[in-house]
Amino acid sequence: MQKRKLGKSNLEVSAIGLGCMGMSFSYGPPKDKPEMISLIRSAVELGVTFFDTAEVYGPFTNEELVGEALAPVRKQVVIATKFGFDLSGGDKRPGAAGLNSRPAHIREAVEGSLKRLKVEVIDLLYQHRVDPDVPIEEVAGAVKELIQQGKVKHFGMSEAGAQTIRRAHAIQPVTALQSEYSLWWREPEAEVLPTLEELGIGFVPFSPLGKGFLTGAINENTQFSSDDFRNKVPRFSEENRKANGALVAVMEKFAAQKQATPAQIALAWLLAQKPWIVPIPGTTKLNRLQENCGAVSAKLSPEDLRELESAAAKIKVQGARYPDNLQKLVGR
């Protein structure tokens, strides 16, 4: 497995990370814990050193799972988690929990995450979503204090807009931004990627496989379980899945030429964009984990990239990436 550095920081991680959310949350019922522990440890054996979780996943259970799975190899891995949702209410569905990035809440969240992850320090701590009620300078200042206290090593942000990133970075250098980015969601290219390049901040794309769509395993006939988040995503309506299949067809054709899979092409495309981009595809299946890790070997030449971009550019992806209540939390 190749390694990459997140921006100008010295945080070195595997070129492909592992998003752990779906093991506990959002994509149907929680998966079998011993199986998921085994999967996470298989990832380590495959060379993955970068694992992503958050207190809201579960809530709390995903951090406990990741902490237990990685305890034997703690020194070999980088664990990222997130704060920023108010989990004091009863409704813990994605987006139902309000935001809370007040400094006292951040400190409280970090104490909980340290315990659940069974670690003495959090390698990378993201603000999960920008809280409009708390100036970003206060958030960055609170994380700076946690870094000075030795409880956190690196500060990250998620789905933040360019100006907010600049303001935070001026108080406490931001190591990484995590946002959605893939061949079917390219909005970060307009403002965010140039800002990150200028400031020397790494980029961690989540949903690099389009929440599973770019693997080719989902079509208009796919039935999601009742508690699968994709039921609420406009882009995953039956009609839009049918239309968006055109993009997958392009990738399948390309993959066949390269003796790769559509997922590997999607990840290889991301890796080819910048040397400081580290995608974190999530999975609950060993064969998919192995497939995703294999993407580092799928090399795309400049000509391949031009051909892929040109074919993809002719297809207008249908449907919003989030329902309105979640879209409002993005790009602040």
Assign 3-class secondary structure to the chain: CCEEECCCCCCEEECCCEECHHHCCCECCCCCHHHHHHHHHHHHHCCCCEEECCCCCCCCHHHHHHHHHHHHHHHHCEEEEEECECCCCCCCCCCCCCECCCHHHHHHHHHHHHHHHCCCCEEEEEECCCCCCCCHHHHHHHHHHHHHCCCEEEEEEECCCHHHHHHHHHHCCEEEEEEECECCECHHHCCHHHHHHHHCCEEEEECCCCCCHHHCCCCCCCCCCCCEHHHHCHHHCHHHHHHHHHHHHHHHHHHHHHCCCHHHHHHHHHHHHCCCECCCCECCCHHHHHHHHHHHHCCCCHHHHHHHHHHHHCCCCCCCCCCHHHHCCCCC
Annotated active-site residue in 27, 57, 126, 322: 57
β-strand pairing of 3-5 with 12-14: antiparallel
In Å, how far from its chain's centre is CA 58? Answer: 16
- What is the model's pLDDT at position 91? 59
Nearest C-alpha neighbor of 185 from the set 258, 122, 251, 266: 266
- What is the model's pLDDT at position 141? 98
Query: Cα–Cα–Cα angle for 138, 142, 147, nearest 5°?
Result: 145
Whether 57 sits among the annotated catalytic residues: the reply is yes
Q: Does domain 3-327 have CATH number 3.30.1330.180?
A: no
| Spatial contact of 52 and 17, defined as CB atoms under 8 Å apart | yes
Query: What pLDDT tens digit does each residue of the chain (332 aa) get?
Result: 999 999 999 899 999 999 999 999 998 899 999 999 999 999 999 999 999 999 999 999 999 999 999 999 999 999 999 999 999 876 555 556 799 999 999 999 999 999 999 999 999 999 999 999 999 999 999 999 999 999 999 999 999 999 999 999 999 999 999 999 999 999 999 999 999 999 999 999 999 999 999 999 999 999 999 989 999 999 999 999 999 999 999 999 999 999 999 999 999 999 999 999 999 999 999 999 999 999 999 989 999 999 999 998 899 999 999 998 888 888 88
| Spatial contact of 14 and 44, defined as CB atoms under 8 Å apart | no
Q: pTM of the full predicted structure?
A: 0.96
Q: Report the first-to-last Cα separation within the chain, whole angstroms.
A: 35
- What is the model's pLDDT at position 90? 61
- Give residue limits of the domains in the chain: 3-327
- What is the model's pLDDT at position 299? 86
